[in-house]
Structure 1
């Protein structure tokens, strides 16, 4: 590489997102990049000319290892939707003005579906205007819903945490006996894709029977059938544990969480904020059966628990970061790095690049054949798909009994003062 590289992070963070950042930085330096800049708060920050020289923060091999083990987005993230080029050309002119100023040869964006939309638009503008900067997407999302890739970095670690947490919740639910039973409902992230929710099945084994019911957003949720199933289970056992996706919907398309909420917040991409599914169902079950209920939201813990990260996930995240730089250096643009599973036993996975136009704004859902006929549990094929992705551990660097992370840039730790 003869010039500079810039990298940004976008969307919801993961336990592995910074491992991809480390892969981008190390590979760019090894390939001769003069500087590697980091966007502060993604493309939204870039529009405000907010960026750092990563060499000021990554100075040793220990820093690389710390970064790989650091949760959340080291550079800060955003949910900024670029307008269509014909809607507001000035936004693109500003971005490319900054890229020219920094002499950027390669633009790497680490993110999920909406982030790939950003790569698509910027690469299209570069082609139309004849601009030499190359744009490559680096996959990241715990939702595992990006098209054309076997799986996404971040998913394996989240699945490992979810399977582990569910096992502990099930164990805890049997500690006390209640006269009318206990129903615990665990809410897991997932708007339209149930990959994360299905991961609770990993808790099932010789020492744990796993959750009683699993509800994914791909299958319409039937309240009547749900209550009937809960009734039957309470007659059989003292404790019932149910896993639900935050995005489960009724047959008419209405989110279950909306039944107990008056909020209607949406983000820049038009996504409705989902929360309260477990709380609504727990209250409903308590009212129907008079039993003890608990609602548990794993919330941000499932994407930030770097202490429980999968070694496979961290290694693959680093690998795709490096592959993104390599693709740009070799002339690719408007592409995303994808993971291609080569074998299950032993597990092997490689990388290649695919046209981002075939990925952006598309969603990979859990196949119907990987869910049982009743829509209340995932199949063994689902578990076999996920298991290789959660293998191995990444030992944290411990200091005084607490994991040490790479110190966050000051630009993220201090609030910007607005000019009057």
Structure 2
């Protein structure tokens, strides 16, 4: 590697996104990069020439280990949609002027669907205009909805948190519902794909029956049938726990969260911010049945709980970061690193590389056969898929009883 490397983070963070950043940095240094720059706040910050020399912030092997255990986006993230090339060439000219000035050889972007759109556009522009930089994407999303990869770094740790927290909520309710009915509705992230909500079934075991109902956005949500299920359940038990995706929709396409009348925020990619499904359903149950309800939103906790991160997930995140640098150094561009599952028992995986044009702006949904016929639970095939991804722990470095993170100092 003769030139320099630049890396950025984009979209929603995960508990292991910084492990990928650590993998990029270490591999780039090991392969001879003179400098590894970090974009502050993704491509949006880069356009404002916000970047740093990472060697001034990651100074030792201990810093790399701390970074692997640090949640959120260490460099800062963004949700910025690049225009089409023909719509605004000036933005692309500015980006490449900065890249050339910094003598960038490899551009690595860690993110999800929308971030791969950025890799696609920049690599296309480079080819069209004869630029030499290589552009490679590193998969990242707790939603696990990226196409062509078996799973995405970030999902395993989020699934581990969701399974654990669901189990603890169930246990908590068992201690509160003596002779009184308590219905808890847990709202879990997932706009169109139910990978996260399905992970609530990981709570099932010899010491826990798991949630009573699980609703994924892949199946239209029927409120009348839902209420009928609730009425039947409370005839048999006092403590009822339901897991729902934030993106569950009615047959007519309306999100359940919209029924509460909440104002909607729409991001740069046209995505509605979804929240309130659990609250709406709890209010409905209270008004129609008259029992005690409780809504729980895992919200940002499910993507930031690095203290409960999966060892498999952290190691794979580091691995794909390194694989991206290796691919770019060897001439690949317009590609994304993927994880291929080699074996289930024992679990083994390897990295591959795919054309980002086949990945960007596509979504991988939970297979219909992994959801029960009535759409109220997931199957054993789903659990067999996700269980290997939540294995192992990465003990945090504790200081005064609290996990220590790698901190990016403010100016």
Other-structure match for 1:36:
36
Cα offsets for 1:51-101 (capped at 9, x unmatched): 000000101100000000000000000000000001111111111111011
Structure 2: how far apart are the matches of 1:67 and 1:19? 6
Other-structure match for 2:260:
260
* Deviation, structure 1 residue 178: 5.8
Structure 1: how far apart are the matches of 2:100 and 2:288? 63
Alignment check: 8 A CA contact 1:74 1:409 kept: no
Structure 2: how far apart are the matches of 1:226 and 1:329? 53
Cα offsets for 1:106-133 (capped at 9, x unmatched): 0000000000000000000000000000
The change in CA–CA distance for 1:363 and 1:195 in structure 2 (over 3 A counts) is: same
Other-structure match for 1:284:
284
In structure 2, runs of 5+ residues without a counterpart are none
- How many residues end up aligned between the 2 structures? 411
Other-structure match for 1:226:
226
Structure 2: how far apart are the matches of 1:261 and 1:62? 49
Other-structure match for 2:141:
141
Other-structure match for 1:93:
93
Other-structure match for 1:131:
131
SS at match of 2:243: strand
Structure 2: how far apart are the matches of 1:346 and 1:265? 44
Structure 1: how far apart are the matches of 2:251 and 2:268? 27
* Deviation, structure 1 residue 261: 2.4
Q: Quick check: 1:47 aligned with 2:81?
A: no
- TM-score scaled by structure 1? 0.97
Taking only aligned residues, the RMSD between alpha carbons, in angstroms, comes to 0.7
Other-structure match for 1:416:
none
* Deviation, structure 1 residue 409: 3.7
SS at match of 1:235: coil
Other-structure match for 2:373:
373
Other-structure match for 1:415:
none
* Deviation, structure 1 residue 264: 2.0
Structure 2: how far apart are the matches of 1:191 and 1:31? 39
Alignment check: 8 A CA contact 1:218 1:365 kept: yes
Cα offsets for 1:299-346 (capped at 9, x unmatched): 000000000000000000000000000000000000000000000000
Cα offsets for 1:168-200 (capped at 9, x unmatched): 000001112365511000000000000000000
- TM-score scaled by structure 2? 0.99
Matches within 5 A, 1:46-195: 46-177=46-177, 181-195=181-195
In structure 1, runs of 5+ residues without a counterpart are 412-420
Q: Which runs of 4 or more aligned residues in structure 1 lie more than 6 Å from their structure 2 counterparts after TM superposition?
A: none
Alignment check: 8 A CA contact 1:149 1:339 kept: yes
Q: Quick check: 1:386 aligned with 2:386?
A: yes
* Deviation, structure 1 residue 407: 1.3
* Deviation, structure 1 residue 165: 0.1
Alignment check: 8 A CA contact 1:178 1:292 kept: no
Other-structure match for 2:330:
330
* Deviation, structure 1 residue 265: 1.2
SS at match of 1:236: coil
Structure 1: how far apart are the matches of 2:184 and 2:106? 49
Alignment check: 8 A CA contact 1:167 1:210 kept: yes
SS at match of 2:235: helix
Structure 1: how far apart are the matches of 2:387 and 2:193? 18
SS at match of 2:208: coil
Other-structure match for 2:6:
6
SS at match of 2:339: strand
Other-structure match for 1:418:
none
* Deviation, structure 1 residue 408: 1.7
